[in-house]
Structure 1
């Protein structure tokens, strides 16, 4: 007999309990790593989208602010045709502050109702994995 011989007994395709526990541990560890990688990928993509969207909204806000200043000046000029200049400026300023207050209250209520960004797909996948493990454990 040349070479090495395998000292493990042959089980006709059946594994010992120790082997099955070891295999289950390895599979569970691999599953956790895969779920973490999925969560990281999902949150990274959501972060990219939020960054691009935030940048575009910031640019739109800057242009809207410039337009609002122009509109306010136009409003003051138009009202000054029928009112003293100071009264026209005061009316336009009051309207702008009223709009700002409404937007602030509405925005605050929207932020309170916002949910934190969570990896929803990964959470669903983990729940499905846990359910599958429970079902197989009962068999």
Structure 2
């Protein structure tokens, strides 16, 4: 029967002490955490860029739409005023723009729902890292 003395290294670790091994593991975990944070930042940046572009398009479309709506509405209202009372013509044009506004709002809302505020790839890799930490031999 052979016995292992407390001073002899554990098989497979070489001459490294437990403190050195813990230090190496801690260093690796810190590096992994920093890499995950950088990945999350990159993903958030990409999503923020998409949201910023969408918001810019909303703004530009809103201003252009306002100008078109103003002049087209006036022209349509005065055109209808030739065949009916001006008040009724204005009310018809207002109702038309209410419908158009509702449609544009719905389209904008559906596009905004496509923007993901959660960094999907980072969440997946963190799950994988947690699973690996629980079962490093798999």
State whether TM-score is above 0.5. yes
Structure-2 residue corresponding to 1:129 = 129
C-alpha distance in 2 between matches for 1:62 and 1:49 = 20
* Structure 2: tracts of 5 or more residues without a match: 1-6
Structure-1 residue corresponding to 2:40 = 39
Post-superposition offset of 1:51: 1.7
Task: Tell me the TM-score normalized by structure 2.
Answer: 0.72
After superposition, residues 93-104 of structure 1 pair within 5 angstroms as 93-100=94-101
Conserved 8 A contact 2:77-2:89 = yes
Conserved 8 A contact 2:36-2:122 = yes
Q: Secondary structure at the match of 1:18?
A: helix
Structure-1 residue corresponding to 2:64 = 63
Task: Tell me the TM-score normalized by structure 1.
Answer: 0.71
1:109 to 1:55, Cα distance in 2 relative to 1, 3 A: closer
Post-superposition offset of 1:59: 0.8
Residues 35-64 of structure 1: CA deviation (Å, up to 9, x unaligned)? 111111221232223223321331122112
Q: What count of residue pairs does the alignment treat as equivalent?
A: 129
* Structure 1: tracts of 5 or more residues without a match: 1-8
Coordinate RMSD, CA, aligned: 3.2
C-alpha distance in 2 between matches for 1:14 and 1:67 = 79
Post-superposition offset of 1:129: 1.3
Q: Secondary structure at the match of 1:13?
A: coil
Q: Secondary structure at the match of 1:72?
A: helix
Post-superposition offset of 1:14: 4.7
